[in-house]
A and B are shown apart, each in its own frame.
Chain A
Amino acid sequence: MQSGQNRTDDTEKDEILAAAEAGIDIDMLEANLKRSPIERIKRHQIAFNTAEKLRKAKRL
């Protein structure tokens, strides 16, 4: 039988593992968590603008 601490560790591991197994980049997520909310908003804006430029790009 697991101790309470082990159960908590397993739950944490499961949730991060589940995200990783679904293809989520955990390193990117954890790097983002080190940023402030406004930094996250600004980086989202940059990503959005880049995606929009690529979406609108014309084939040569």
Chain B
Amino acid sequence: MSGLVMPPSDAEVLARRDEIVAALRAIVPGEGVISDDAEMRVYETDGLTAYRQVPFVVVLPETVDQVARVLRYCHDNGVKVVPRGAGTSLSGGALPLADGVLMSMMKFNRVLDIDFDNRVAVVQPGVTNLGITRAVEHRGFYYAPDPSSQIACSIGGNVAENAGGVHCLKYGLTTNNVLGVELVTIEGEVVRIGGRHLDAEGYDLLGLVVGSEGMLGVVTEVTVRLLKQPDTARAILIGFPTNDDAGTCVADVIGAGIIPGGMEMMDRPAIHAAEDFVHAGYPLDVEALLIVELDGPKAEVDHLLERVGAIAKANNAAHIRVSETEAERLSFWAGRKAAFPAVGRISPDYMCMDGTIPRKALPHVLTRMQEMAASYGLGVANVFHAGDGNLHPLILYDANIPGDLDKAEDFGADILKLCVEVGGVLTGEHGVGVEKRDLMGEMFNGVDMDHQIRVKCAFDAKQLLNPGKVFPTLNSCAELGRMHVHKGQMPFPDIPRF
């Protein structure tokens, strides 16, 4: 593990391990508690495999009551808890703690209700993202957010991370597609926020919970919005001689009032890696490739394909291909969707970054990234959600070469700093986790972060849920609670007063 500092283990908790395991077994009987080191090893990491830690103990509750009782026990006994869904986080959101109970929610795997009239589904958190669509597609509905890991990732994890995907340009992220949750607090209280109606009453606690990376509570039920599948979807594949041309084309498409279902871009190294891997028929003599997918009624798709084609030509497109069949559309996507494993074939290791930038900064950022790659002596391939400016640079390195991982991490940090410098953000959809935790200061000052931590204090004053994630330092809630008030004269003589 390179340089990552996690909260210090609580020696008292470590010493009480047998007693704690026994207490958990009393709540979750049978095979729901795993305490054997070898068996716990499958939980030692998530999608961010550079970091590993065997958990203190693993618990797999099956009922909301068990979740509540485990959390209440941990709260009363000062034991940390790390919630986990499918374990596909790319930012280390489910990285265990040596003194923390790892709570896997994967036994909560049922679709509870599908209400087509109100276009919602109520599901348990362990249901996979794609599992929701599978449950409703026979009536022509789907769940829109589609992270690349959608076959495996759970909706509970999607809520924790506010997962995105290709479709969120047009249909929004998880936060825009979740109507309600049932949440268990660390104190073991079960609360329901929102439901089948739009907009929860009172404070927008739902908005806070989505994307809180498992630090505010454990989600035990999710109500999601369903959408009707579009009648038609077709894609257009466009190759450009320069990144500038591709970037301008993206801006012009949006500028024309067209919000495609998806608009993805790949740079030269990514195009070559993908084409060598899946033979999608990508042109190899271009610097940048755009895949624009248009969905909706056939008349709309036909109309917009024509308009996007014209915009592409006006931006010096060297290759234009429109999918004529569903098979062809899927083949366009095959290369993009396989981009990560494809890059895995050309490099022993790679690190996937996730920043967002204003679209107009794209050519500048790509140029700077190549310059940085040269100075670090590492390769970089880029795939990204061009429509919303969400970059996924893949840094190529070899973990067997001493110092290469450190170099790759430094390079990644420099890329994210560059994103912030041009007006963007550290993470668009993967979450902060442990990966970007120590970069939070690039975007937020201490007061900004303290106000975020105050939300944590409202939900979890003892800071037992998933500590060590998101915030570089988790100031104690007692310290944050102090007020420094200065008595005296009215300090604002300049404010007009009536």
Instruction: Report if A and B associate in a common complex.
Output: no
Residues of A within 8 A of B (CB): none
